[in-house]
Structures are given as structure tokens and as C-alpha cells.
Amino acid sequence: MRIATWNVNSVTARLPRVLEWLAVNKPDVVALQELKCTDAAFPTMDIQALGYEIASHGTGRWNGVALLSRVGLVDVTRGLVNQPQYDGVDEPRAIGATCGGVRIWSVYVPNGREPGHDHYHYKLNWFTALQVTTATELSAAPDRPLAIIGDYNVAPTDDDVWDINQFTDSTHVTAPERAALTKLRSAGLVEVMPRALKGYPYTFWDYRQAAFGRGWGMRIDLVYANELFASHVTDAYIDREERKGKGASDHAPVVVDLDLG
């Protein structure tokens, strides 16, 4: 089974590249983030035509997550347990489903904007809800492979950004954010580390300042999974080729191959 996660930065703007990428790479399950459209505006027909069932959770201009599957898609859950609001709004940032016997969540963790900002506290509270959801999911089905994949908006270590000296007083690298990842591991998840195809395996390069060409990347799109899921992994990599050229998302897809026997 091939599973991928990809922050597409607008599924409608990215549609030609998404369709091409699906056709070439033939993933069985895809977790998308930053749809930037409502469920009604999601390009359902085009993606169904490639053989995928779709569960989306999008409300408009910002955020939005989806799962695509061609190995079944059941027991869809939208939102986290005790998910906090931001500015009085329940944002669409998490969706879970069972696909081919594997429980998969697509998550888009809040950015945080800057340490101390309301959005930063929201980010940490959102992680707490993700930890609660993880514990709930793990206890509900301890013998089922589980993966929580998506844009975590946290670089796990200093090596996961191109230059840590550029990140003083920045989000994505602070101790509380990294502690949130540690708590997920304490709850029973492990990180599936993608291999480097060329240089360090970053997943995001800002559109500005020709960051991709300069290698100014970050590894913030992560695969967290229970031990059972991880035990079946045969390969994991970042498709940095997809970041190249005109019309690319600022994130590259992360691909995980499993042998479920």
C-alpha cells in the first residue's frame, strides 16, 4: 500500500499537478492539506475519475483537509476530540478515516505565527487535542495500523531547517512545539523518517527569495504512526521533484510504502 501526504496550497489552483501526480505515482491513500475551498467546491469529479473515494473537510478560503482512497474509505471523523476554536471558529484541520484496514488522519496543525501570539497558544492547545485524539484512537483499536500524517508546522530538530540561526524568536522550532511532538511519541507513536533523495529531506520551501533553488527548506510535513504501522513500512521518501517548476505547491509530497502482507 502506498500512502502520501501533501500540503497542496489550494487544491483547485493545484488541480492539474495533483491529477498528474496521482496518475504517475498511483498512491492508494492520500492525505491533503490546505484545500482552501469548501467541500462543495472540491474537485470531486476529476479525482473520482482516477478511482478515488473522497472525504473532505473544508469551509472556504483557509485551511481544509481531505483523504483520498482507492482501497476503501469508511468511518470518517471530522475534527479532533476537544479541538479548540480560533477566534470563535472551528477550523477544518483534521479528518480521519479507515482505508484498507489502516486508520489514517490528515492533519494541518496551526502555524502559530509568532511565539506568544494567540495563534501560537492555539497551536499548542491544538496539539493537546491531537494527543487526546491519538490516545483515543490507539485505545479504541490497538491492533490496527494507525498513521497521523500531514503538515505539523514543527521542525522536529535543528537539522530539519536549513539554518537554525535564521529561526531565533521564530515558531516551528521552539521547545514547547517540539515537546508537543515528544508527547505524541509518549502516547505511542513513532516518527517514520523519510530517506534523503538529494541533500537533506526537507518538505517545504518558501515561495519567496528563490528558497527552493537555494536549499532553504524545512522538514515540517511528518509521518507519525503506531508501531504496527511502522513495522510494515518498506520505504519512505519526499518527492522533491514535485516542488520544481511553475505551478508547484510550496510543499512536496511525502510518500510511504507499506507491505501489509
Partner DNA sequence: ATGCCCTATGATATAGGA
- List residues near DNA by CB under 7 A: 7, 9-10, 12-14, 34, 36-38, 60-62, 110-111, 113, 119, 151, 153, 171-172, 198, 204, 206-210, 212-215, 218, 220, 244-245, 247, 250-251
Length of the chain: 261
CB of 236 to DNA, least distance (A): 21
Q: Please name the residue that has the C-alpha cell 515537546.
A: 179
CB of 57 to DNA, least distance (A): 15
CB of 72 to DNA, least distance (A): 29
CB of 125 to DNA, least distance (A): 15
Looking at the Cβ atoms of 142 and 215, the one nearer to DNA is: 215
Looking at the Cβ atoms of 58 and 96, the one nearer to DNA is: 58
Residues β-bridged to residue 55: 67
Looking at the Cβ atoms of 51 and 215, the one nearer to DNA is: 215
CB of 52 to DNA, least distance (A): 20
Looking at the Cβ atoms of 41 and 228, the one nearer to DNA is: 41
Residues β-bridged to residue 78: 95
Number of neighbouring beta carbons within 10 Å of residue 85: 11
CB of 53 to DNA, least distance (A): 23
Q: Please name the residue that has the C-alpha cell 518498506.
A: 234
E strands present in the chain:
2-7, 29-33, 53-57, 65-69, 74-78, 94-99, 102-108, 146-151, 189-191, 204-205, 217-218, 221-226, 233-238, 254-258
Nearest to 154 by CA among 128, 173, 126: 173
Looking at the Cβ atoms of 126 and 229, the one nearer to DNA is: 126
Looking at the Cβ atoms of 103 and 219, the one nearer to DNA is: 219
CB contact set of 239 (below 8 Å; sequence gap of 6+): 21, 25, 252, 253, 254, 255
